[in-house]
A and B are shown apart, each in its own frame.
Chain A
Amino acid sequence: MQLYLPIADLPVNVFLVLAMGAAVGFVSGMFGIGGGFLMTPLLIFIGITPAVAVASVASHIAASSFSGALTYWRRRAIDPALASVLLCGGVTGTALGVWTFTQLRALGQLDLMIALSYVVLLGTVGSLMFSEGLRALMRTRRGAVPPRRTHNWIHGLPLKMRFKRSKIYLSVIPVVVIGIVIGFVGAIMGIGGGFILVPIMIYILRVPTSTVIGTSMVLTLVTMLFATMLHAATNHLVDAVLALILMVGGVTGAQFGARAGQKIRGEQLRLLLGLLILSVGVRFAVALVIRPEDLFTIRELGVGG
């Protein structure tokens, strides 16, 4: 069944988009991530412009992280204090990100920046995650004990605050900075940032695993809601029809993905996720390096006169 997308300005097959939403939802449920880094590239691949894809995926991620956050809230697996501090940075970062997005679009370099960010970010995070997963897997094979975590320089910073539910005593500076970075890249790349945020919170901030996913989902939820509104108000690029189809597919797929994820061991899961992230990054890198089919592109600046 064909449906015309009002903002993307092109007809799409509803079932194709629904299936894409479900597939990405499955993956995101399996790994406990938002899935924006898969959804945005897929939309670009079916012909939706990167700008509309990024803006519309924001609301899709908001929906899936809200249903996740509600579940974690019921299990008391969210640290409200940590989430609020993260949000201070997250909201600032999102506003900066949307502003940068608008500027880049006017310069005609938005698509390039989206692609470059994907290459750099996904390439780095993917390889780190993959190698870490590989090492963990070898350790368990050998039966070795994982090395004890030690405090690092982050824990020497001033302005310390006690986060009761996470049982950590931590400076607010790195937390706000992380919020800004995640909000910024999220608004430009159309990702929630969960797949970067969770490792950062575990390895750098030493947030316990009991609260890390729930808290990161709150940050994702608020920054993505804020990004949706800013993208809608400034760039008029959010396609609500597209977003709705994606949401319905996504939240359904996520439920099945979560069940599948419980059957796989943690290290293998990380290895798989690392591989997936890396391959999306490589896909963008290849597209940048090979000669494009057409060197010319047209952008309409709005109907006038």
Chain B
Amino acid sequence: MRALAAALLVLLLGTSARAERLIVSVSNHRVTVTPNYSGEELVLFGSVEKDAATPADRTAYDLVVTVMGPRADMVTRRKERTFGIWINTDYRQFLQVPSYLALFANRPFDSITSPEIARRQQIGLNNVLLTQRVSGDYADVVPNDAFRSAFIRLRTQRGLYREDASAVTFLTPTLFRTGIPLPAEVPIGTYEVEIKLFANGAFVGKTETAFEIVKVGFEQFVANTARQNGLVYGLVTAAMALMTGWMASIVFRKD
């Protein structure tokens, strides 16, 4: 019993001593989307801090950065030819999936770690958990499922899902940086950033940070009012229409 406890202690000490520390920071923790916002790129900086217990032979590290936007329910629909025209027929509902999802690494995912670890750590768009509701059941499906791949493809086309295995660059063997591109139609909310460290194919440790995207100015005020006070918003819009029409009839009056 005592021997077992001692063995466990050694193991624990060993684990904690082996863990490199990751120190990261984002260039901007609060991104403001203004009416003329047309996309931006954040920069994530970080360094791998070794301590005395780090094995001397461990010099090369691999990093996978996952950026996840606010979660939302989404529906993917498929069109089929019915009576000669293309109609939405089948659909799948994706539950609480990230509205923005980016996976960055310093080299191809499959050369960083084994497929088994990649699946467990959700490395790569094929391995990220996207829960679907399939006839009452909640589950993710195989990566080559038609709805799942169409969902990822469409999000990728809009620049909202991305995967880049060369986005992380090591400035020195321990100092790294990566850009986080945010397209013009970026969803607002809190973004979680997860940085996972690998060495020789093994998962070594991870750290997390976050940033926030907020809309400011007139347009955000408009969007908020439209959602919260629909009736007032409708009345104001109607009044605006009447004003514009009335002004035009005054300005262009011929007699």
Interface residues of A in 223-243 (CB under 8 A from B): 224-225, 228-234, 236, 238, 240-241, 243
Count residues of B near A (Cβ-Cβ below 8 Å).
61
Which residues of B sit under 8 angstroms from A11, Cβ to Cβ? 36-38, 184-185
Q: Does A70 contact B (CB under 8 A)?
A: yes
Size class of the A contact interface (CB-based, 8 Å): 35 or more
Q: Which of A63, A234, A288, A302 contacts B72 (CB 8 A)?
A: A302
Pair B234/A299 contact, Cβ less than 8 Å: no
Pair A108/B88 contact, Cβ less than 8 Å: yes
Which residues of A sit under 8 angstroms from B227, Cβ to Cβ? 236
Pair A300/B99 contact, Cβ less than 8 Å: yes
Which residues of B sit under 8 angstroms from A289, Cβ to Cβ? 84-86
If A108-B91, A304-B72 touch, does A247 touch B244 (CB 8 Å cutoff)?
A: yes
Complex Cα–Cα for A303 and B74 (A): 9
Q: Does B76 contact A (CB under 8 A)?
A: yes
Least CB distance from A231 to B in Å reads 7
Pair B248/A297 contact, Cβ less than 8 Å: no
Pair A238/B72 contact, Cβ less than 8 Å: no
Pair A4/B35 contact, Cβ less than 8 Å: yes
Complex Cα–Cα for A10 and B223 (A): 12
Complex Cα–Cα for A294 and B240 (A): 38
Which residues of A sit under 8 angstroms from B234, Cβ to Cβ? 228-233, 238
Complex Cα–Cα for A197 and B140 (A): 52
Q: Which of B223, B231, B242 contacts A7 (CB 8 A)?
A: B223
Q: Which of B33, B35, B38, B78 contacts A296 (CB 8 A)?
A: B78
Q: Does A134 contact B (CB under 8 A)?
A: no
Pair A298/B38 contact, Cβ less than 8 Å: no
Which of A80-88, A162-170, A248-256 lies on the face that meets chain B?
A248-256
Q: Does A305 contact B (CB under 8 A)?
A: yes
Q: Does A66 contact B (CB under 8 A)?
A: yes
Pair A301/B222 contact, Cβ less than 8 Å: no
The proximity string for A residues 268-305 relative to B, scoring 1 for CB distances below 8 Å and 0 otherwise, is: 00000000000000000000110110111111111111
Q: Does A201 contact B (CB under 8 A)?
A: no
Q: Does A103 contact B (CB under 8 A)?
A: no
If A7-B223, A7-B226, A301-B73 touch, does A240 touch B237 (CB 8 Å cutoff)?
A: yes
Binding site for A on B (CB under 8 A): 33-38, 70-81, 84-88, 91, 93, 96, 99, 147, 150-151, 153-155, 184-185, 187, 189, 219-220, 222-223, 226-227, 230-231, 233-238, 240-242, 244-249, 252
The 5 closest A-B pairs by CB, nearest first: A66-B245, A232-B234, A251-B248, A229-B234, A296-B150
List 10 additional contacts besides A6-B226, A241-B219; criterion CB under 8 Å: A7-B226, A59-B237, A60-B241, A63-B245, A67-B249, A225-B241, A232-B231, A298-B75, A298-B151, A303-B187
